[in-house]
Amino acid sequence: MRTQVGIIGAGPAGLLLSHLLHLRGISSVVLEQRSRDYVERRVRAGVLEQGTVDTLVEAGVGERLLREGLPHHGIELRYGGAGHRVAFEKLVPGRSITVYGQQEVVKDLIAARLAAGGDVRFEVEDVALHSLEPGLDSGPYLTFGGERLDCDVIAGCDGFHGVSRPAIPEGVLSVYERDYPFAWLGILARVAPSSEELIYTRTERGFALHSMRSPTVSRFYLQVPADTKAEYWPDERIWAELKARLESVPGFTLTTGEIMEKGVTPMRAFVAEPMQYGRLYLAGDAAHIVPPTGAKGLNLAVADVRVLTEALAAYFADGSTELLDGYSAACLKRVWRAQHFSWWMTTLLHTFEDDDPYGRRLQLSYLDYVTSSEAAATTLAENYVGLP
């Protein structure tokens, strides 16, 4: 088989790349290890930056997003017995976020690719990358399940545990990482949200986040020890702890209900650079991971794909490699800004066991500054909704 771009991974990055390339008249084949049902049900991120929403709408896959997504024009920082709203409409006029589950983005993209006759293959086994080295006369190719796919370029969009990044020879990549000493216990509940906007809560018991996925489904997170197992937390214990952390302001009552899903997410940061080697280009979690506090993972993947699409369009139009050569540097500028913002939000709102009373007072002092200074609040707002 032959295509212009071989794409590994049918998550948001791989599917969006395939769709954007299709709109430019560039052929691609998407290979995914998991089943279609699995990737369409996999609950992950749910906060879309303004630029992500704009990209999906401009690409013609935003109809359901605009109809069912929940636009938000602020978030609440809750600590010390009081809530403080960060007003996007005042601090960053014209820019907001939209709550719309990652699995819904994936459903929309799969539907669009199949409607356009796109080649998306699920449950593909034993994917391997070949002839990636720069300067080879022959192009790269992929093998899988006894078949071979020749292509001009390979895009590795298969996440942190995928096969793309390990295919780069040892010594090429520089890796930067940090593991946090806690995790998030996330739950999906069949219950109406208790707030119209996201609530980020800092308490002495630990961090909690009240989010949502629809008018009838809520998403919650609790800071828990790093070695926590979901089975340690029966439903009654989860609701009791969420109430203890979220019902910390007068008049707020948390609505409880059926928990449909629960799982533990490790808190870690990771960057591998450069994000390219020869004819292989990494995008999304294959190249970088951020702690979810800043809601940046999916949005970074979309930003990577925008840059890569423009670079590939220029290459296939006239053979220009300037944008492809600069792909990694262009992406990493945003990646490291998001890394810093995610680290900042994480350290601002979580409790750390090794913090002494001095460190905790510093944390509260900075929260006071962010919620009382328009300049500091603007920094949070413009990073949260996404830089242009």
Prior bond to 181 cis, omega within 30? no
- As beta bridge partners, residue 71 has 98
d(CA 220, CA 194): 11
Cα-Cα end-to-end distance for the chain? 39
- Distances from the Cα of 133 to the Cα of 153, 154, 165, 179, 201, angstroms: 11, 12, 14, 32, 48
Q: Looking at this protein, which amino acid is placed at residue 95?
A: R
Which residue of the set 180, 277, 315, 384 is catalytic?
Answer: 384
Cα distances (Å, whole numbers) of residue 11 to 124, 178, 267, 302, 328:
14, 24, 20, 11, 20
357 counts as catalytic: no
Q: Where are the beta strands (DSSP E) in 90-198?
A: 97-99, 119-121, 128-130, 141-144, 147-150, 153-156, 174-190
Q: For this structure, is 200 an active site residue?
A: yes
Q: Across the beta sheet with 147-150, what order do the strands follow?
A: 128-130, 141-144, 147-150
Q: Catalytic one among 19, 79, 292, 327?
A: 292
Tell me, yes or no, if 296 is annotated catalytic: yes
Which of 12, 19, 72, 140 is an active site residue? 72
* Parallel, antiparallel or unpaired: strands 206-214 and 47-48: unpaired
19, 107, 210, 296: which is the annotated catalytic residue? 296
Selected catalytic residue, list 79, 200, 221, 277: 200
Distance, in Å, from the CA atom of 152 to the CA atom of 312, rounded to the nearest integer, reads: 10
- Active-site positions read 72, 200, 292, 296, 384
